[in-house]
Chain A
Amino acid sequence: MNARDRILARVRLALDRASETAQSESAATVRDRLRNRPRGPLPAMNWDLVPRFRERCFSLSSTVDEIARLDQVPHAVARYLAGNALPSACVCWPKLAPLEWTAAGLQVEARPATGDDATGISGVFCAIAETGTLMLLSGAENYATTSLLPDTHIAVVPATRIVRSMEDAWDLLRSERGALPRQVTFVSGPSRTGDIEMTLVLGIHGPYRVHVIVVGG
């Protein structure tokens, strides 16, 4: 008997499930629950997706820009960087590399971010309107560092990828990917802490700025 067996034995004893029938009933109940995956009660969500997403982003101190087409992204990024007096050199996810960055006056490299990069530009798997949240998946070309190490994180969000709630986001992930990737990260605004005298400060270990560009809303 090893630690695992002893712990599980103590759990079974504590739950007073001595008989075989009780054991198999419990196992069946668990199997059903994992298969059916019932949702918990949802609060009322009587709002439209894009306006709600925009309003929630503001409340988290993210900024939001709305443009019509994907090819306008480089100019939207250039406008944002100039408006905040930020450098024109960025890193991005490879899937955004084909956009016309140089034409917009930017030097954008498709590689993971280091501690020296000022701005990281990523895509998202989807975004959640209820809370103004970005859902990022790990992957071969979805560098974790892009949205984590630089001071500024810019996220390109197609309006069609804005869903209502986290429950809807999980459904979307299951239907499109089947299984979870190594890491699923939900990002809701610039990093923050209140650990000193409960005073809210933005920009601790993660980015200090989060700028969301909604495309085709």
Chain B
Amino acid sequence: MQVTSQQFKRKAAEALANPKLRKALSNLRARMVIGRAQSVLELDNLEQIREAAKSARDFALAHLDHLLEQFERNACARGAQVHWAETGDDVNRLVLEIARRNAVRKIIKSKSMLGEETGLNHYLEAAGIEVRETDLGEYIIQEARETPSHIIAPAIHRTADEIADLFQQKHKLPRKTDIGEMTREARMVLRPHFLTADMGITGANFLVAESGTSMIVTNEGNGRMTTTLPRVHVAIAGIEKVLPTLEDVAFILRLLTRSATGQSISNYLTFTTGPKQAGDKDGPDEFHIILVDAGRTRVLASDLRAALRCIRCGACMNHCPVYQSVGGHAYGWVYPGPIGAVLTPAYVGLENALDLPNAATMCNQCGVVCPVKIPLPDLMRKLREQQVERGLRPWSERLALRFWAWVALRPAAYAWIARLLAAVGRWAGGSMRLMHKLPGGASWSRYRDMPAPPGKTFRELYRRRK
């Protein structure tokens, strides 16, 4: 996907001024935030499971090479074809080759964020293949020619009215007003595509090393259809998705579904091992798995490695005050919210996403709810430090900090300037004792008033009391 993270500030300001978006984002609270809080009450040992999930993910990363080799061996033993892609372009190229070799004209997709990273849909469509997203949310944004704004609920930024208009325009049917009716209409429109597609593409929530199995977590049923009905199935997965055993998947799922949508379990869990076997009634003739690097080995080698534990639940963004205010598009790439603030600079380059690690209050709501205990504020802080070390901060900020360092090292100058500012501040505060404008600090004082200083500095008052 094209990177527009450089425009975060502008897009965030637009988002804040958009009442429809603010209303749409408020739906997050009811379902995702409260949902999660209620569903984790079912687990009497939540923190124990979180710690174990963190360990399991760390184990997988610490032995990633051997687990990937085991996964490949076991998948191939069951007739799957395993490919390795170093970059996003390689993924696109491999998928197209598989499609061409199999005379594929129509593809159905069950959502893949990795596919968003590589721009897979556009690439395949440019090559003349019809690509149909089948997750309701993904279908909506595909029709609207937009990008997803949330990793679980990609169309969350759209109101029902807007979607009704979109459906009327695209389906050429009478405009529906009820969300249930709109959903039924989408089911009716998409059903023929499931039955006529040549190839299905999915992501993978986890890759299970012990059995060579790829699994997906869904609610709608399109994942089941995509992995069973067409004659070719391609699963694309980041190499970090591997887990050792089915037991690991079982216990981590308890956290994944609760953290994502407040569900005790997701409607459909689909574990796929190899293509159609002799004697099987259903299944594709060919099953391809593409294991993807695309920057993951670089993150593995860095001090951001913990971010690779991510199981893509979306809890961090659901609970983030910044995401709740501006939504996902402002972040400018595939992953929004706190995990996006870390992965975007890691994958697309620090210099292309300078504002993201800074768009945080460090409240650590994300760290508290993360099922695998990724220390997101710490990772954002590391990215901020890297920005300074590499001289990527704006010159005005660097100058201001250098001036501050000069003053702070000179106690006499510090005391004199503080006395001056205190007096000026008291004068500027007037009778209301509030300062409405901060010269040089407009981005703060535009929305806030600062209480005026009482007129003397702390040191003066202290000296007087003595």
Contacts and interface: CB of A to CB of B under 8 A. Distances in A.
Interface stretch (B216-224, B405-413, B414-422): B216-224
Query: Considering residues B134, B222, B298, which has the most beta carbons from chain A within 10 angstroms of its beta carbon?
Result: B222
Contact of A131 (B48, B68, B265): B265
6 closest Cβ contacts across the A-B interface? A206-B221, A40-B251, A14-B301, A195-B137, A205-B221, A10-B297
Contacts of A12: 65
Contacts of A133: 265
Interface in B378-429: none
Interface residues of A, number: 74
Contact of A204 (B24, B136, B275): B136
B250 A167 contact: yes
Contacts of A196: 136, 140, 155, 158, 160, 163, 179, 182-183
A40 B134 contact: no
Contacts of B254: 43
A145 to B, nearest CB: 7
A70 interface: no
Contact of B265 (A42, A139, A188, A193): A188
Interface in B214-232: 219-222, 224-225, 227-228
Interface in B124-175: 134-137, 140, 153-156, 158-160, 163
B264 A15 contact: no
A183 B251 contact: no
A139 B267 CA distance: 21
Most buried by B among A7, A112, A140, A190: A7
B268 interface: yes
Interface of B: 24, 27-28, 30-32, 42-45, 48-49, 52-53, 56, 59, 62-70, 78, 84-86, 90, 134-137, 140, 153-156, 158-160, 163, 179-180, 182-184, 186-187, 190-191, 194-195, 209-211, 213, 219-222, 224-225, 227-228, 239, 244-248, 250-254, 261, 264-277, 279-283, 291, 293, 297-298, 300-301, 305
A27 interface: yes
Contact of A148 (B28, B66, B221): B221
5 contacts: A11-B68, A26-B63, A112-B282, A195-B135, A205-B221
A207 B66 CA distance: 40
B62 to A, nearest CB: 7
A181 B62 CA distance: 29
Contacts of B239: 7, 11
A11 to B, nearest CB: 5
Given A115-B191, A182-B274, A205-B222, A194 B246 contact: no
